[in-house]
Structure 1
Amino acid sequence: MNSIVSQIGDLAEAGERMIERLRRKAFLPDSRKGLNVRIGIADAAQLLGCSTNRIRMAEDDGRLPSPPTSETGRRLGYSIAELLHMRDVLGASPQRASLDAPAIIAVQNFKGGVGKSTVTTHLAHYFAVQGYRVLVVDCDSQATTTTLFGFNPHFNISREETLYPYLSIDPTQADLSYAVKRTPWPNVDLIPSNLELFDVEYELAAAGSDGQSVLAARFRKLKQGLAELARAYDIVLLDPPPALGTISLAVMQAANALLVPLAATTPDFCSTVQFLSMMDQVLQQLVGAGISLDYNFIRLICSKFDSNDPSHAMIRSIMEQTFGPALLAVPILDSAEISHASLRMMTIYELEKPIGTAKTHKRCRANLDEALGQVEQLVRQSWGRVPPAREEEVFDAAG
């Protein structure tokens, strides 16, 4: 038996070493993930909701610096940081008003393989490109989201840098500010995770007869800690474990919105129905125990959808009949571009150039913008607002 256990340990160590090798290869020369994507003036104008002429005028009169140029004089486009500055100068920031509550969205499904962490990371980067201030909280000890942000949970992250010191039976931190890390994105921060976060589950399970009160205290504490931290952000994205454990329940109670990704397969559909049924029972028990729950919206989003697969179309139709308007109208398409980007520990929004064909990349990006834009609309509706109007729309309406 010991030899089998030792073999599992050897396999785990070999896997961790390979992940570190892949990470170093992806993030050379200094093994730190960077953000080198640049946005052309036409795309920048679309994101800012203005004309390219307005941007050029601001550059001409000195309100905005011109983007760097290549040796041949070609404009290289704007960095994300420069785009954020442009939003401030041109009054195009989508940030919430001070009285608007930050959106705290749990991306949850108990079925593995639905792309939960991939959806979370792409959603974070989508919101970042749109100009929002984003905090991502990796609550899953598998730490896939942490990895996608360029950190190796085994080598780079200690238990003291996760939620553990705040949620443990004997906490050493009074608030969550200690855990916030900067990412390559100037407007996205991360609270990372690693395998040791699972110790919280063990500790609470071992709490004995006092376990129920300890559990309730942890629920209140996570909600309070995230609410305090969220004051500096517009969007908080929570990636909980794909299981009904203590941390998952605490996350569900701390969130004010729920997004459930599910793939267009029969097992995923059936599993998601079971997830919703289980959540209904558990949440009713939490409410009965005096633990408050209040969601601005609950939506399901179909992920990894293959429009060329008849079985996917059939299951998608069943989803629409079952969930009605709770299912977002635009699914996230299955794309080799997303898979290739994930292999490089990146999202589509971080790619400097297409990995596959330009057509495939453009189609993938357009789909993600449309699919994830549905979540942005829900957030803005919760703030009592709609997406900002573009200049052209205002002029057309005036005409």
Structure 2
Amino acid sequence: MLKKPDEPRVITVANQKGGVGKTTTSVNMAASLARQGMRVLVIDLDPQGNASTALGAEHTSGTVSSYEVLIGHAEPADAMQVNPDNPDLYCIPATIDLAGAEIELVSMVRREYRLHDAIRRGFLQEHGFDYVFVDCPPSLGLLTINAMNAVDEVLIPIQCEYYALEGVGQLLGNIGMIREHLNHNLHISGVLLTMYDARTKLASEVASEVRSQFGEVVLKNVIPRSVKVSEAPGYGQTVIEYDPSSRGALAYFDAARELAERGDYQPHPTTGPIGVSPEVYADLDGAERNEE
């Protein structure tokens, strides 16, 4: 069993490039941690509701959802549903009603902090959550800004394919901007390589390029290409439930364990929003002192 964190770790899985396995990563990391003794909540902020589908949550129009939580018509506890396969895994689903939320939020008080205010004022502690994953849409609208203001950590999935780093510079810029103006705690605590095909030269080239750009914040465990991972949501399940012995399920299980065991990688003042390992942090501190 994993050691529970001292405080709930609240994470958004973000990448502005579509189709990189963002939702897949959110739900499978969450399910993996829940299988390893953690109490986990997934908040679906994407109107498409793919995370809700994968977690077997009811999300037809009219279901109490993240939309009602954001506009203040419901408490998070009212919207929360327990996963049918795992009593430690919960989901606040997204319905199509969320598509109109961007417009409704514009005129609201603390419009960028609606999710923060709903979950960060005692709700997480009251319900004993160890981890929260917020799945947001690929665009940088008010829904994504709400996600980024409610969390401390960003986990970036990067696909091991052509143009893998396309858009990552823009994402870093956006995270830096939100960190500077809205949420000073926001930082990148993990980068996860997905859709890794060990047989291709391209995959290893992309992996080394990502590692050279992001350093030790990149998880050592990578997620291989896997048919089972793609199939699972069609059955309203994560791959952890659908085929626990498949390569994809085992890879997510190991990646989740790694993220939990190494803890939250905080950024150094010299690394912008990118987290570093405690050893690197100490080295950078030493280098700064020597310069003085």
In the alignment, structure 1 segments of 5+ residues that lack a partner are 1-47, 49-92, 208-213, 355-360, 383-399
Pair 1:183 & 2:83 matched: yes
In the alignment, the residues of structure 1 paired with residue 229 and residue 184 of structure 2 have an alpha-carbon distance, to the nearest angstrom, of: 34
Tell whether 2:77 aligns with 1:193: no
Cα pair 2:175 2:186 within 8 Å, conserved: no
Percent identity, aligned pairs only?
24
Q: Once the 2 structures are TM-superposed, how far is the Cα of residue 133 of structure 1 from its aligned partner? A: 0.7
| 2:12 alignment partner in structure 1 | 106
Could you tell me which residue of structure 1 aligns to residue 144 of structure 2? 248
- TM-score (norm: length of structure 1): 0.61
Q: 1:126 aligns with which of 29, 32, 42?
A: 32
Asked if 1:230 is matched to 2:124, the reply is yes
Match of 2:257? 373
**CA positional deviation for 1:162:** 1.4
Name the CA distance, whole Å, in 1 between partners of 2:77 and 2:184. Answer: 24
CA distance in 2, matches of 1:147, 1:134: 17
Give the TM-score taking structure 2 as reference length. Answer: 0.81
Q: 2: distance between equivalents of 1:343 and 1:176?
A: 27
1:204 corresponding residue in structure 2: 105
From 225, 234, 237, the equivalent of 1:346 is: 237
Quick check: which one's helix share is greater? 1
Counterpart residue number, 1:387 = none
Alpha-carbon offset, residue 301 of structure 1 = 0.8
Aligned partner of residue 340 in structure 1, secondary structure: helix
> What CA distance in whole angstroms lies between the structure 2 residues aligned with 1:292 and 1:277?
14
Q: Using the alignment, how far apart are the partners of 1:114 and 1:352 within structure 2?
A: 21
CA, structure 1 residues 183+202, in 2 after alignment: closer, same or farther (shift >3 Å)? same
- Paired residue type of 1:140: D
Task: Name the aligned partner's letter for residue 189 of structure 1.
Answer: Y
Q: Which has the higher contact order (CA 8 A, sep 6+)?
A: 2
- Give the Cα separation in 1 of the matches to 2:65 and 2:100: 11
**Is the CA contact 2:79–2:93 (under 8 Å) kept in the aligned structure 1?**
yes
Task: Give 1:133-282 correspondences, 5 Å limit.
Answer: 133-151=39-57, 153=59, 156-158=60-62, 161-168=64-71, 171-173=72-74, 175-184=75-84, 185-205=86-106, 207=107, 214=108, 217-227=110-120, 228-231=122-125, 232=127, 233-282=129-178
User: CA-to-partner distance for each residue in 1:334-354, whole Å, 9 max, x for gaps?
Assistant: 112222333333223213676
Cα shift at 1:367 = 2.4
| Offset at residue 129 of structure 1 (A) | 0.9
- Please state how far the C-alpha of 1:244 moved relative to its aligned partner: 0.2
1:271–1:115 CA distance, 2 compared to 1 (3 A): same
- Residue-pair matches, total: 262
Which structure has greater strand proportion? 2
The answer to whether the Cα contact below 8 Å between 1:120 and 1:239 also exists between their aligned partners in 2 is yes
> Retained in 2: the 8 A contact 1:138–1:238?
yes
Query: Aligned-residue CA RMSD in angstroms?
Result: 2.3
Task: Supply the distance in 2 between the matched residues of 1:248 and 1:275 (Cα, whole angstroms).
Answer: 12
Is residue 239 of structure 2 the alignment partner of residue 332 of structure 1?
A: no
Bigger CA radius of gyration: 1
Q: Note the alpha carbon deviations across 1:20-76, whole angstroms, 9 max, x for none.
A: xxxxxxxxxxxxxxxxxxxxxxxxxxxx5xxxxxxxxxxxxxxxxxxxxxxxxxxxx
C-alpha deviation, 1:104, in angstroms? 0.7
Residue type of the partner of 1:179? Answer: A
Matches within 5 A, 1:352-391: 361=246, 363-379=247-263
Question: Which residue matches 1:318?
Answer: 209
Residue segments in structure 2 that go unaligned for 5+ positions in a row: 267-292
The answer for the alignment partner of 2:287 in structure 1 is none
Indicate if the aligned counterparts of 1:124 and 1:188 stay in contact, CA closer than 8 A: yes
Flag the 1:150–1:157 CA change in 2: closer, same or farther, 3 A: farther
What residue is the counterpart of 2:185 in the other structure? 294
1:302–1:317 Cα change, 3 Å: same
| Amino acid in the other structure paired with 1:369 | F
SS at match of 1:328: coil
Relative to 1, partners in 2 of residues 1:352 and 1:204: Cα closer, same or farther, differing over 3 Å?
closer
Distance 1:224 1:379, change over 3 A: farther
